[in-house]
Structure 1
């Protein structure tokens, strides 16, 4: 389902196309509408255009069995117990992700080399003064990099 918006307004006032793709029947529906339609109007449009053509499905198509869904919901729809169990599982997943993230960060910190930040002032003939920050070790030759671009190293 998608919307194609900002189209030129038609004589009937439609400026948007609602695209609905049915992957089961491999068909697409293009319904003209206005951009300011509310959800209740979209529901009416859906009922009049899609459900009126095909009807409501009587059975569920599943890769297991149509009875699987109803049996699954009957067993697992327990109310507060389901919410508590889900919350506990989510917290366990969060804890596992945090432990993995901390482990990966500590491994990365062991391999990281300490770098010193050096601020070097350069002067350009046309642009005036400005600052450049390099993430390099102190004492590295900056002239090799910037003489090619015509910058002069300032010693003061």
Structure 2
């Protein structure tokens, strides 16, 4: 019988990726470890890039990334980057503008190239001249194109 261990759905002691109720997905596995409901805040200028999380994708697979933007003094960009295993950015994949607080989403396909190890989900000022603060919480990446409510990665609660 399925149980909820912390906030991860566990069946026979094994965390599962998805849970459906009445044909609708109600839980999707968060591929970003170390995310939380706690407020994260950055203050500064010069694009003020923050990494919400990184994950090892299955190349060619479609994903959706979400982050709850709590406040922002200026326009932001939610962006995806190819990264080294050490967290250095290699190549821009895709970005979407964020102009107001709320749930920001971006759908993307993991590039097929072999030139990267991880994909990074980042927030940054849209304009490098901007200075101020922004805050976020509940970063999540899951397989597919439909966002489900935030949950921690099963690894974070097991």
Select the structure that is richer in strand.
2
Normalised to the residue count of structure 1, the TM-score between the two structures is: 0.19
Q: Which has the higher contact order (CA 8 A, sep 6+)?
A: 2
Normalised to the residue count of structure 2, the TM-score between the two structures is: 0.19
